[in-house]
Each structure stands twice: as C-alpha cells, then as structure tokens.
Structure 1
Amino acid sequence: MNDVRTALRDLADEGRPVDLGAAALRGLRRRRRRNAALGAAAVAVLVAVAALPWSGLRRPAPPPAAPAAGQHVAAAYADADGAWWVLDPATGRHRRTAADVLAVSPTLDRVAVRPPERERTLLAVEATALTGPATVLVRLPAEPRSAQWSPDGSRLVVALEPGPVGDEFVDPGFTDVAVVDAVTGAVDRFGLGLGELRRALRVWWGDDGTLLAAVATVDAVEVPREFEVYSAEGSLRRRDPAPRGQSCSGRLSAAAVPPVLAGRPLACTRGATEITLWTTGEGGPAVAGRLPVEPGQTVAPVGWSDPDTVAVLRETPAGVSLHSADLRTGRLGPAAPGLPADATEVVVGPADGLSAAAADLAF
C-alpha cells in the first residue's frame, strides 16, 4: 500500500489529467522492477566479495625456487649401521639401497655401486630413482677402490686396488685406474706409471676432460707431493707441485664433483687453528683462502661453489655436517639438511640436478 500511495502522490504533484488507477499500477510495477534490479545487484556484489578469500585459497602457491648454480647436496650417505641411502632428486628423499655407493653422477640420476653378494670386481651403474635407465653391469680388471664421474656424466674413472683387500697388507695407495663408459660398460685400463716408490691417493676428472691424480711417496703416503695431469687415455701431460703440510682431508671426505675450478684442483693443509686452501697447477700452489678450525674438529673441502665459496665437510665429536664456507670471511654457513650427524660415509654432489620440490636440500 505504501507503494500505491507514493505513486498516486507523484501523479497528483504532476497535475496531469490521467487515469489515476492505471497510472498508479504502472508506477508500482516500475518501482518493483527497480527494487528487484537493485536487490540482485547487491546480492551479486556480496557474492563477489565473499568469494574473494576463497578464490585466494584455491590459487596455487608459487613453485619453490630452483637451486642456485654452484650449490651442493648430500647425494648419498652410509648410516651408523653401514647401510647406504641414495637421494632421489625428484622427491628430495633418500632411499635405502643394498649396494655400497662409490659415486653419484653430476645430474644425480645415476649411481655407481658395488653390487651386494656379487664378485668384488663388478661395478653397477644404477638409477637413483625407482624408475630410470636400466642397470649397466661392468666387470673390472680389479676391485674398485673409489670412483668419480666425468663432468658430463658419460664416464667414470675408477681407482683399482693393487691387490685383494683381504690380504694382511693393504696398499695405502694405487697405481692403476680404469675409465668406464657409463652407458655401454666398456672399460679401458691403464697404469699411471708411478713406479715402486710412489702411489696415487685419489684420482678425479678435471673440468676440461683430463684426469688428475694426487700422488705421494710410499714413505709419507698421506701427504700429496704433486698433482699429475693425464689425458683420458692415460698419457701424462704434466706434474704440478702440491703444497707442503699435513693434509686436512677427514675420514669421510668424498665428492661426486671433484673440487676443481678453472682447471686447478683444490688442496688443503691443516694447522693448529686454521686450514689453508690452495689451488694447484702450473706455476705452483697459490693460497685460495683460510678457514678457522677448533680443537678436535676437521674441516675438508669437497667442492667449489664459486671462486669465493667452497663446500666443506665438517667432522666433530658430535658428528658430521656439510656447510658452505665463505673464503672472504672464514665463516661457515648453517648445516645442510638431509645428512644425519652419525653418517659414516658421505658423497657430495651438485644441486643442479635437484627438482624445485627438493631445492631446500641445497647448500
């Protein structure tokens, strides 16, 4: 009734001679249509406003950032019981493997292992994920002591034991290596030509495809005397002197990517309160930086991140941990995730092969 009275009043104000009943009904209809339209618009606005927070909740979160170039990750480790765990780069989880891990590829997708309960001269190249490339079995001319992947992930260089490990005397070094094609399993063995009085302590790939060997004399086999550079076919190219001093390598130090930067391998000597990092090459050793150490602590480099930063493995009575170390300040970054403190062996790899979902493991 209020609407009808309002319509009649409007018509009276206009003072036009019209049928008041019909005009009032037309005015009533116009007001109802206008009110209905306004009500619908208000409901639409309320629905849109109410929907805003829900649409925000449904919007997918931004993807995690990919690891920065030069970062590293704990690619594999042996736990306190001696069981090996290998990182799946897609999920960011370590899964247990029955084999003994020797090396993890630079892309983190393959691993070189000693197959369990098989001949000790066998080496297997397996996928780190449950699904991946087929396993490649390789028969070596001798038992493998250690292995390193080439920077492009196509080959392995394997240090060969000079005699059976079960002998009463285990040679502290080695003289022969094998280069293995990781796809076909083809093997090329050659000696380093070290003679009776010298032994290689470690062999790894340079970033230019050459082979580098840390060589010592048998009377002081724990201290490298020189770094020898070979072609991938075994030809000696040059000998570079190593820095003099006690090596700071800890009992666990191992790396999937050798600590080589611009063709110069990284060496380390230990003092009472600090370690000194050196680059070696033509022209002799050059100091790259120093890091402080505490009594009872071992810090050993396992890879370059950039010219001012190295990845290090730290061993203390409380356990082991991986860190990024700034050579300009001498400071260690926070301990990297993914490595238990009671690990008994560690393999470090580049974080480039991690998926974005696993990027938080990089250091």
Structure 2
Amino acid sequence: DPAEKLKALAESDRPELQFLWAIHRDLFHYCAVHLAEIADSAREIDLAMRWGYGWQQGPFELWQAAGWKAVADRVRDDIDAGRATAKVALPEWVTRVDAAHTPAGSVTGSGDYLPRPDLAVFKRQWLPPRLIGEGDQRGTTVADLPGVRLWTLRDDVLLVSHKTKMNVIDDGVIEGLNEAVERAEREFAGIVIWQPEGPFSAGANLKAALEWIHNDQYDRIEGLVRDFQQVNLRLRHATVPVVAAVRGLALGGGLELAMHADRIVAHLESYMGLVEAGVGLLPAGGGLGTLAFRIQQQTAAGDSYPLLEKRFKQVAMGQVSGSALEARQMGYLTEADGIVMHEHELLFAAHA
C-alpha cells in the first residue's frame, strides 16, 4: 500500500528512512511549485519521468497513490517546520483538488483539469498507457480463461492476451488459443494476439517442463509439444485472418506462435529468436519448418542450401535480432509483415 509505505517513511525515526521521505517530500514540493512553469499539466511530467527515466510511476502518480490530501498535509507541515529544502508554500490549488489525474484530465498549474490531447495522431494510439486515476480501458471481455483473456475493443476482431508471467506458453495458453480459434471462426472477423503488458512472449514455460522431468512425467512434455504444434497449425489454417502484434521479446515458442499467424505487425524494438539451443533444446513448435518453407519459396529458382545453412546456423547459435528490421533480415519477419515505429500504434496497425 503506497499510503502506508509513505506514512511509515515520514513517521520513522531512522535516519535512512527520514532521508527517503525527504527525497519524496522535496520532489512533490518542487513539482507542485513549478508545475505551471514547466508543463501544461501533471500528465506531461509523469509521462516524462516514465519514458525518460524508466520510472514505473511519475511523481504526481506516486503522490496520488499515497493519498493526495494526506501527503499534501505532511509536506505542508515539513515546510512550516523548516524541514523542507525550500521555504516556499505549496500552491493554493493543491488544497482545492483531490487528485492529480482523473478521468476528466490532469491538473494544471492553475488547478484546472486538462483533458488528454485530441490530436489526429493520437487516434492511432488505441490503448495508450493510463496514469493513475485516469481510468482503465479494458475493452469487453468475451471469455476470461485460466491462460488467456479473450476480448474485443471496438470492432468484430477477437483479441487474445496471455495471463502468464512474461506471457510464456503453457497448457492454459494453448487451451485459450484453441478456444479463440473456435470462437473467432463462429463469431468474429479475425484474431489479433496482443499483450497489453510485458513482452509478446518469452517462450514456453520451461520451469513447468523441468518439474515434469524431475517427476518422470515425460508424457506431459510430449503432450505439451503435440498440443502446441496443433494449435499453431490451427492458427495458420484458421478461416479468419490471424495477426500477431509483437513488441519486446518474442523468443522460442513465442516467436513460433507469431510465425504461424497470417501476418506479424512488429514494433521496431522487437527482439526475436529461436533460442532453444541455448538450453540444449530444439524449437518444437514448427519454427524450423516455417523457416525451411520460407527459404524454399525464396529460392525456388535456385539452390536453397546456402540460405538454409545460414538460417539454421543462427538457430544453432541462439541468435536474437536487435530490432524488427534485423528480424526481417534473419527470416523471422517476411516482406509482407509490418513494422511500426511507435509501440502505442501497434494495435491500430494490427487491425488495419
């Protein structure tokens, strides 16, 4: 609980915790005093700290999560007591508002709320990151399954999002993908596999596979491989278009899943590779076959072996692309697959 944590820092007698509270207090104080000078609203400051410095939450988000009024009172008490770095009062608008971010907008240096920009370019960003208090845009859930969430956003395309850590592939994900194909072929115009958070997929759940090996449950491993191959083929031969919207890591089985879609739309900063050789395994989800099939198409009028050797060598070395452009050079993306520069436009491009 952020409120309890910040309260514990402010009330502690331990010098190291007092130091941490002072850092937060002076940060909140500075941002409130200078908000009107440095940004249109609190939104720009929080997003700048997220994007520029890798913070999970910006300063106004931290303040709001810990309780806007309670934190403001603590900061004001420290200013009055001379414990703050600057002897400058908090702006009066801090008392007038209850939060930095609301569904209506973000607070400005005058205490008003400024809505999110409504420029045409933002129409392509269907699900941009939301700040604390802005409200969550989660679409309409079609089925909340153990391994995946099936949902829709604004049309008749079925979205599939994994629910596992690092979006790895396990029995639950495979069952969810099968359910997605069945539902989409009956009720929807297409499928988009997209993860709202985290990478596209870090591959198969090797931790579970290791437990099965320790318990001599080799039949479960064989079943997982068989089921994964079958669901990939179902995706490839589905009667509706299937698009994989990739950003971040797409490794091992995660890349094989994407390669069986009709199209991949990848953010530029996507890192793809069949890396199973690094742990003493071979790709078992159809990735090698897909590579070989593509090579045959590319070299139909000549000798396939040089390119086949090159592609399989990169698999043997566990090489990972440094970008989506390099993934295309490595054969993981085709010329028909799309690459987008802005990750927040990925979902829009996948629906196009």
Higher helix share: 2
Q: TM-score, length-normalised on structure 2?
A: 0.26
Structure with bigger RCO (C-alpha 8 Å, 6+ apart): 1
Higher percent of residues as strand: 1
Structure of greater Rg: 1
